[in-house]
C-alpha cells in the first residue's frame, strides 16, 4: 500500500514523502490500494481503510520491512521479490542515514535492511519488534552487534555477493603496481617514451603475496594469485598459524609483513583490527613492498601510511577504502605519486549489485518464514533466546502480541 506521506508521484502504488515511500502488498503481491480502486471504493473510504491496518487484515498486522538506504537508483529488484513472496507485507523505503528518521519508521518493523545508515545502540534499542537486521554488503561496522545480540536480534550480511569483484580488484591493483602501469601511462601522456626514470619491475612469478584475512575474498585472491605464479601466505586470527589452508601457508603477522612483496588486506573492521597496520607494522615491511587495501580504510592508520609513502619507506600502495569516506579533496593521499586510489568500488558490477539486493531480500523472507537465514554475523545470538522462531511459517509474537500473517495470506 501507499500511505499519504507527502506529494504523490503519480503512480497509484507509490507516494513520495520527505522521508519515506511506503508500499503494502497483499499475499498475492498486489498493492492493496490498487485493489480498492479496482472495486471502485470511494476515495474517502480508501484512506479510512488504509489508515487502519486491522480493518484490512481482520485483526492481523502485516509484516513490516524497513529499508533504510541503498546506493541503487531504484528498488525494483526488492519490489519484484517482495511481490512474489506470498506474504502480507508493508515495505518502507526511507533512503536516509539519519538515525532519528530510522527510529521513527522502524520501531515496529519485523526486519530492517541497511546499507550505510548507522544502527547504533540507541537505534537498536528502539526496534521493539525487529527480528532481523540485514546489511547490503559484507562489512557490518555500521551496526552495533553487541546491542543487537543483547536484544535478541539476528544480524546477517550478504557475504558472497562480490567475492569475484573484490578479488579481481585486488589482483588488478597488484598487477598495476608490479608492471608500473600508471607511471608509464603518465609519462606517455606527457610526451615521453621509454622508462628512463622508472625502475624496472621484478618478474611477478615467484614473488610473495601476504594476505591479512583468509575468508571468502581472501581465498579467492589466493587462488587468482597462485594462478599467476605467486607464493601466498596468510595471517588470520581464526586459523592457526603454521597450518595450511587451500595451499596457503598460515603465518604470524610480523612474519607476513617482513617477508612479503605485496600485502593485501581482506579482514573485517573490528575493535581488534582498527589500525592493525600502523607505523610499527609499516616499518616491518620491505622498502620494495606494496600495500593493498580493499577491505576497510580504518584497518590502516592512514596518517602513518601517508608518512611511509611520502618518505618511500615502502614502495607504494593501492587503496579502495579510506578512514573517512568520501576522501577529502585536499587529502595528502591524492598528491602522492606512489599510490593508486579508487573510490570504494571494488565490489562494483552489474551482477554483484543485483545479487546483493536479491540476497538481502531472501534473508528477510527466510526470517519471516521462521527460519534462520544464512550469513548470520552475530552467531552468539543463536546460543540464547532470540526473536526468530524456529517454527516454520511464523515469527515470535513480539511486544504487544500482535498477530502476523503466515505465507500465502493465512492470518491465523
The grid coordinates listed for 135 are 546489511
Alpha carbons 337 and 333: distance in angstroms, whole number: 9
The answer to whether the beta carbons of residues 388 and 149 sit under 8 Å apart is: no
Helices (H), 135-215: 145-150, 163-179, 181-189
The grid coordinates listed for 318 are 593501492
Alpha carbons 167 and 211: distance in angstroms, whole number: 11
Helices (H), 108-252: 121-125, 145-150, 163-179, 181-189, 216-227
Alpha carbons 194 and 152: distance in angstroms, whole number: 63
C-alpha closest to that of 159 among 375, 319, 310: 375
Q: Which of 14, 274, 286, 344 is catalytic?
A: 344
Q: Which of 76, 325, 351, 391 is catalytic?
A: 325
Strand order in the sheet with 63-67: 21-25, 89-93, 63-67, 111-114, 132-135, 154-156
- Is position 296 annotated as part of the catalytic site? yes
Helices (H), 71-215: 76-83, 99-106, 121-125, 145-150, 163-179, 181-189
Task: Give, rounded to a whole angstrom, the gap between the first and last alpha carbons of the chain.
Answer: 21
Alpha carbons 301 and 303: distance in angstroms, whole number: 6
Sign of the Cα pseudo-torsion (74, 345, 121, 237, in order): positive
Alpha carbons 288 and 297: distance in angstroms, whole number: 22
The radius of gyration of the chain's CA atoms, rounded to the nearest angstrom, is: 25
C-alpha dihedral, 306 to 308 to 314 to 318, nearest 10° = -10
Q: Which of 135, 296, 347, 404 is catalytic?
A: 296
The grid coordinates listed for 66 are 524497513
- Is position 344 annotated as part of the catalytic site? yes
The grid coordinates listed for 58 are 481482520
Catalytic residues: 296, 325, 344
Amino acid at each position: 500500500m501507499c500511505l499519504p506521506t507527502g506529494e504523490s508521484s503519480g503512480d497509484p502504488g507509490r507516494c513520495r514523502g520527505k522521508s519515506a515511500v511506503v508500499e503494502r502488498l497483499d499475499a498475492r503481491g498486489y498493492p492493496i490500494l490498487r485493489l480498492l480502486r479496482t472495486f471502485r471504493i470511494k476515495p474517502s473510504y480508501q484512506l479510512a481503510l488504509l489508515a487502519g491496518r486491522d480493518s484490512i487484515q481482520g485483526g492481523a498486522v502485516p509484516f513490516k520491512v524497513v529499508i533504510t538506504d541503498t546506493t541503487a537508483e531504484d528498488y525494483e529488484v526488492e519490489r519484484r521479490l517482495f511481490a512474489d513472496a506470498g506474504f502480507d507485507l508493508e515495505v518502507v523505503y526511507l533512503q536516509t542515514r539519519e538515525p532519528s528518521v530510522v527510529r521513527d519508521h522502524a520501531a515496529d518493523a519485523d526486519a530492517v535492511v541497511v546499507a550505510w545508515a548507522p544502527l547504533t545502540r540507541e537505534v537498536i534499542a528502539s526496534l521493539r519488534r525487529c527480528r532481523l537486521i540485514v546489511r547490503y554488503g559484507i562489512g557490518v561496522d555500521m551496526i552495533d552487534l553487541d546491542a543487537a545480540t543483547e536484544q535478541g536480534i539476528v544480524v546477517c550480511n550478504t557475504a558472497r555477493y562480490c567475492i569475484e569483484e573484490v578479488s579481481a580488484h585486488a589482483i588488478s591493483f597488484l598487477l598495476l603496481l608490479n608492471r608500473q602501469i600508471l607511471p608509464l601511462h603518465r609519462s606517455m601522456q606527457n610526451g615521453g617514451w621509454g622508462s628512463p626514470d622508472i625502475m624496472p619491475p621484478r618478474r611477478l612469478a615467484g614473488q610473495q603475496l601476504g594476505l591479512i584475512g583468509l575468508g571468502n575474498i581472501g581465498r579467492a585472491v589466493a587462488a587468482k594469485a597462485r594462478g599467476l605464479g605467486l607464493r601466498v601466505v596468510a595471517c588470520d586470527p581464526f586459523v592457526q598459524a603454521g597450518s595450511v589452508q587451500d595451499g596457503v601457508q598460515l603465518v604470524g603477522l610480523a612474519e607476513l609483513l617482513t617477508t612479503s612483496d605485496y600485502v593485501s588486506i581482506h579482514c573485517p573492521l573490528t575493535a581488534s583490527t582498527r589500525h592493525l597496520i600502523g607505523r610499527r607494522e609499516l616499518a616491518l615491511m620491505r622498502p620494495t613492498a606494496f600495500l593493498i587495501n580493499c577491505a576497510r580504510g580504518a584497518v590502516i592508520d592512514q596518517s602513518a601510511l601517508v608518512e611511509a609513502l611520502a618518505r618511500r619507506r615502502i614502495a607504494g600502495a593501492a587503496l579502495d577504502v579510506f578512514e573517512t569516506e568520501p576522501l577529502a579533496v585536499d587529502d595528502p593521499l591524492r598528491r602522492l605519486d606512489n599510490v593508486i586510489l579508487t573510490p570504494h568500488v571494488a565490489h562494483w558490477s552489474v551482477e554483484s549489485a543485483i545479487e546483493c539486493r536479491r540476497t538481502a531480500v531472501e534473508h528477510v523472507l527466510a526470517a519471516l518464514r521462521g527460519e534462520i537465514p544464512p550469513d548470520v554475523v552475530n552467531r552468539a545470538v543463536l546460543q540464547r533466546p532470540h526473536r526468530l522462531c524456529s517454527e516454520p511459517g511464523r515469527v515470535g509474537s513480539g511486544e504487544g502480541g500482535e498477530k502476523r500473517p503466515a505465507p500465502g495470506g493465512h492470518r491465523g
